[in-house]
Homo-oligomer: A and B are copies of this chain.
Amino acid sequence: MHELDVKQVAALLKEQDRILILTHMSPDGDTLGSAFALHRALLQLGKQVKAVCGDTIPEKYAYMMRDLAVEDFEPQFVVAVDVADKKLLGDTYEAQYGDKVDLCIDHHRSNTGYAKNLCLEECAATCEIIFAVLEALNVKFDAAMADCLYTGLSTDTGCFRYANVTPRTHKIAAELLEYGAEAGEINRVMFETRTKEYIRLQVMALENIEMYAQDKCAFVLLSQAMFKESGCSEADCDGISSVPRKIEGVLAGVTVREKADGSYKVSLRTHAPVDASEICKKMGGGGHARAAGCTLDGAHYEAEKEKLIKLIEAEINAI
């Protein structure tokens, strides 16, 4: 066990300088919100700091880093935020820093313990933990930090919809609004803005839903052909992952994206008691109890898909 508590993490960060913050591939609001809130806090404490991602950061998150200068320095201390497994750093950063992460702050049950960590599963978002760390660091919260942290809270909870939300999640949200988080505008961008291309892709997805496990599993494939025909980019299709689970009676919603490299990225969303994390773990992936992911080998797609569906059917039949 390498577990640290919030105070120890704050004390550790205070001692450091030239800090590099790492985020996960396919970056979401929580990894980026955690990274840039921490970045801003450490800047306030007079540290040299930079935050990076192995993937392109979608334009909709640009407000989090808008006014931040990109510093160039050799890191002395490496922090990974919301990164459950060093593989999720992406090839470049895994090769460079995979075995040199000094601190991991995360909330994934599937965290592999690849570094000294503060991993709190009971938190709906890593941003909840970062909020506590920033309090322990005696940081003066500003509106930009509040925007970052609110983004993580909101995006990792389906905007406070999911069962992972606790009273503390709402209390932090209240404080972040008081610090000036532009919640309405952030949620408009994250949840209430769909391109025409996205809507075209969504219609195609809805027209092609496959049902398994006595209609308790809904399966959607977003193929390269569908991306091409709709004009929707892969980075812009995240919202569709929440669609199959919404169908009445469905306990497991699967969304599979065909990637340009021929592999298939699975997003599995479940309702209790179906454990998404357990299913994805058996496919070499991981995540949370209600939202997890894994990758299918493109060379054996049909067999891999069948294996996944069989695992889901077994979980559902065991209820």
Q: Could you tell me which A residues sit within 8 Å of B by CB distance?
A: 154, 158-171, 173-175, 177-178, 183-185, 187-188, 191-196, 199, 202-203, 206-207, 209, 242, 245-248, 271
What CA separation (Å) do A164 and B271 show in the bound complex?
29
What CA separation (Å) do A61 and B201 show in the bound complex?
32
**Which of B154, B158, B174, B202 interacts with A168 by CB under 8 Å?**
B174
In angstroms, how far is the closest chain B Cβ from the Cβ of A268?
Answer: 15
Is A248 in contact with B195, judged by CB distance below 8 angstroms? yes
Is B160 in contact with A192, judged by CB distance below 8 angstroms? no
Known contacts A168-B174, A203-B206; A161 and B191 CB within 8 A of each other: yes
Chain A binding site: helix, strand, loop or mixed by DSSP? Answer: helix
Quickly give the copy total for this chain: 2
A159-B159, A161-B187 are known; give 18 further A-B pairs, CB within 8 A: A154-B160, A158-B187, A160-B173, A160-B183, A161-B192, A164-B184, A166-B177, A167-B175, A168-B174, A169-B174, A170-B170, A170-B171, A170-B173, A170-B177, A171-B171, A192-B245, A194-B247, A196-B248
Is B193 in contact with A246, judged by CB distance below 8 angstroms? yes
The listed residue with most B CB atoms (<10 A of its CB), out of A207, A245, A247, is: A247
The 11 sampled A-B contact pairs (Cβ below 8 Å) are: A159-B160, A162-B184, A163-B184, A164-B184, A165-B183, A170-B171, A170-B173, A192-B245, A196-B248, A199-B209, A203-B206
- Cβ contacts under 8 Å, A164 to chain B: 184
- Cβ contacts under 8 Å, A162 to chain B: 184, 187
- Cβ contacts under 8 Å, A184 to chain B: 161-165
What CA separation (Å) do A199 and B160 show in the bound complex?
23
**Which of B183, B196, B271 interacts with A247 by CB under 8 Å?**
B196
Q: Give me the 3 closest cross-chain CB pairs, A-B, nearest first.
A: A163-B184, A170-B174, A167-B174
In angstroms, how far is the closest chain B Cβ from the Cβ of A58?
Answer: 14
Nearest chain B residue, comparing its CB with the CB of A253: B192
Nearest chain B residue, comparing its CB with the CB of A209: B199
- Cβ contacts under 8 Å, A175 to chain B: 167
